[in-house]
A and B are shown apart, each in its own frame.
Chain A
Amino acid sequence: GQQLNQSPQSMFIQEGEDVSMNCTSSSIFNTWLWYKQDPGEGPVLLIALYKAGELTSNGRLTAQFGITRKDSFLNISASIPSDVGIYFCAGFPSSGAGSYQLTFGKGTKLSVIP
């Protein structure tokens, strides 16, 4: 199936720093979702995006639906230790047999150094 390219694969940052990660695709997506997963737990939905150019915030998290509809970005401001985890992007392609199935990125593993 389709793949989303998520980068970076991992990040080590100091507490208080801002974080950016992104997800790209070779095809157009209709919906972008961002999740956080803690070890041994299921992914938790952070932000959902439905329109090209849309910018949505959830506390210190901000995500954007790229204008080309082929990418999305997640920013975390002023990171804190509890931000540690794996962040996944996911999306629904705009057409084709896979348009009803969520496509996932491989995740960005975030480590925060106190």
Chain B
Amino acid sequence: DVKVTQSSRYLVKRTGEKVFLECVQDMDHENMFWYRQDPGLGLRLIYFSYDVKMKEKGDIPEGYSVSREKKERFSLILESASTNQTSMYLCASTLTKVGSEQYFGPGTRLTVT
């Protein structure tokens, strides 16, 4: 079974704090993704990575950065959290670049106050 894990299920942070969300996959997948999910807006891609130390911007990268130092781990960083970053954050991974099954983690519900 593919397993994607995320470091926290729930987080509450204050405005201006630096926030780290960690994701780990155990299937040796090449590609990893960070999404946020908001009511009425669906899933939106923040950043993705096709290889170690490689990253590409998704549709909504502003206010976020990422790090992929090891193949199995992909971190999302909020440099200075703001209330409009309150959301459900979902990590995902796929084996190959195009057309393969994408597996999601359980999600992190982040609240910024």
Residues of A that sit less than 8 Å from B by CB: 1, 30-31, 33, 35, 40-45, 48, 50, 88, 90, 92, 99-102, 104-107
User: Which residues of chain B are near A41, meaning CB under 8 Å?
Assistant: 106-107
- Total interface residues in chain B, CB < 8 Å: 21
Minimal Cβ-Cβ distance residue in A for B59: A1
Interchain pairs with CB closer than 8 A, number: 45
Say whether B106 contacts A42, CB under 8 Å. yes
Contacts A1-B59, A42-B107, A43-B104 hold; do A92 and B42 have CB atoms under 8 A apart?
A: no
**Does B102 count as interface, using CB distance less than 8 angstroms?**
yes
Q: A43-B90, A43-B104 are in contact. List 13 more A-B contacts (CB 8 A).
A: A31-B99, A35-B104, A40-B107, A40-B109, A41-B106, A41-B107, A42-B105, A45-B101, A45-B102, A90-B102, A100-B98, A105-B42, A106-B42
